[in-house]
Amino acid sequence: MKLRQFLKNLAKNGLKLFILACLIGGCSSSTTPTYLKEDIDKAIQDICRKEYKIDIKAKLVGQTVWIYLPLQDIVTKSDKPEKYIERFSIEHNSENFKDGELKLEYAIRAVPEQEKYQEVKFDKSIIEKMNNVWKALRRVLFSMEQIKKGGPQFFCLVLADIKNGFEISEIFYYLDIKKVSYEFISWTEYQHRAIQDTVVSPRIIGDKEGSHLDYRDIPFEEFISKQIQHRIKLKFQKPEVDKNVDIDKEILKIVVYTLKMYDFKNFSVVELNNMLTNNKIFLNEAAVWAKPIEQRF
């Protein structure tokens, strides 16, 4: 039960651990010669093995770099459980982008406010390994100063507990990690852009090679739609709004903010479907661009 609660609330507490190494490593660019596109995955893997004694599996697929870090017992009981407030119940939150149509379905309701505690945390040794993988990734990523069209755009880090059968993944966009490192965006904003997810599966148990993963190239459309879904989760699970807020309006603001921040116009219509009220909102590209950006963190 404690592990399940830990996984449920990673949106609130886990993201900062995945990006910690960027803070540790500083924000200046590496002077290492630029890596060739086809050598990026091998370079990350070699640095982790030779300098940090960590065995990872890295694989480049199209414009996406996958990094798989197999570990055991990644969480431990917290000596100082972290308190958080629950104001909303997210009963459904899904996205689908197909043929230029972005469809969002959600069922989110306000619940009596109550304090809860996260009673488990990442083990210290696991945090150190995560940070070292991030350092290796950062060294390679920041050597790509002259990245050209066709180079890696997305990175997917997968932290797998191969003893207990669950994993935490994070997908981030190349330019976003550079922007936060050079302070063009805040760390809070970066946490909203990096898509984190958890999976529990018996297939993960004993899988040192990451053979259960679907290594594929992540299209930009999927990154946008899943980021919107991720932002909705953060907005109401963290939570970032008052319990009396207009839920449809807040989700609409998330959609407009995300599409405009990435100047994403490769869509014909956005459909919002509130499954609790049966309220539906439809927006075409012109309607999206006519609305002001209101999202704030």
Do residue 109 and residue 128 come from a single domain? Answer: no
Residue 11: is its pLDDT beyond 70? no
Token pair listed for 176: 């976003």
Bigger pLDDT: 38 or 169?
Answer: 169
pTM assigned to the model: 0.88
Give helix 124-141 / helix 40-52 axis angle, nearest 10°.
140
pLDDT of residue 78: 83
- Total count of domains within the chain: 2
Same structural domain, 198 and 53 = yes
At 118, the amino acid letter reads Q
> Using an 8 Å Cβ cutoff, are 107 and 275 in contact?
yes
Same domain? 41 vs 135: yes
Same domain for 133 and 263, yes or no, is: no
- For residues 87-112, one letter each, b for 16 or more C-beta atoms within 10 angstroms of the residue's C-beta and e for the rest, the string is bbebeebebebeeeebebbbbbebee
What pLDDT score does 13 carry? Answer: 45
Do both 104 and 130 map to the same domain? Answer: no
pLDDT-derived band at 230 (thresholds 50, 70, 90) equals very high
In a domain, 81, yes or no: no
9 falls in which pLDDT band (50, 70, 90)? low
Domain assignment present for 189:
yes
Residue 210 within a domain? yes
Reduced DSSP (H G I as helix, E B as strand, rest coil) percent helix, strand, coil of the chain, to 5: 40, 30, 30
Residue 296 lies in a domain: no
What letter represents residue 2's amino acid? K
The pLDDT of residue 109 is 96
Provide mean pLDDT across the span 68-86. 89
* Encoded amino acid at 180, one letter: V
Last residue of a domain, one of 166, 185, 214: 214
pLDDT digit string (tens) for 208-223?
A: 999 999 999 999 999 9
Domain final position from 193, 214, 235: 214
Query: What is the distance, to the nearest Å, from the Cα of residue 290 to the centroid of all Cα atoms in its chain?
Result: 28
Mean pLDDT throughout 110-131?
Answer: 89
Q: Inform me whether the pLDDT recorded for 270 exceeds 70.
A: yes
pLDDT above 70: residue 91? yes
For position 5, what pLDDT does the model report? 53
Distance CA 160, CA 205 (A): 9
Per-residue pLDDT tens over the stretch 47-71: 999 999 999 999 999 999 999 999 9
Buried b (16+ CB within 10 A) or exposed e, 58-67: bbbbebbbbb
Torsion of CA 140, 74, 195, 294, to 10 degrees: -110
- Give the pLDDT confidence score for residue 295 in this predicted structure: 60
Nearest of 196, 138, 207 to residue 169 by alpha carbon:
196
Cβ proximity of 256 and 284 under 8 Å? no
What mean pLDDT do residues 184-199 have? 93
- Residues 68 and 259: their CA atoms lie apart, in Å, by 29
Structure tokens at 187: 């760390």
Q: Do 132 and 100 share a structural domain?
A: no
Q: Which residue's structure tokens are 């990644």?
A: 74
Tokens for 236?
A: 């109401």
* Domain range enclosing 285: 87-114+226-290
| Statement: residue 92 has pLDDT above 90 | yes
CB 74 within 8 Å of CB 126? yes
Which has the minimum average pLDDT: 95-109, 143-157, 163-177, 198-212? 143-157
Same domain, 107 and 159: no
Residue 231 placed within a domain: yes
pLDDT exceeds 60 at position 112 = yes
- The pLDDT of residue 170 is 94
- What does the pLDDT average to over 154-160? 95
Whether residue 258 sits in one domain with residue 206? no
Q: Residue 4: pLDDT band by 50, 70, 90 thresholds?
A: low
Query: 37 and 172 in one domain?
Result: yes
pLDDT of residue 291: 84
Domain edge (last residue) among 181, 214, 247: 214
Residue 295, domain member (yes or no): no
Please tell me whether residues 201 and 240 are part of one structural domain: no
Same domain, 27 and 168: yes
Mean pLDDT of 179-198: 91
Do 151 and 64 share a structural domain?
A: yes
Q: Is residue 247 part of a domain?
A: yes
- Average pLDDT of the residues of the chain: 86
Tokens of 118: 């996260």
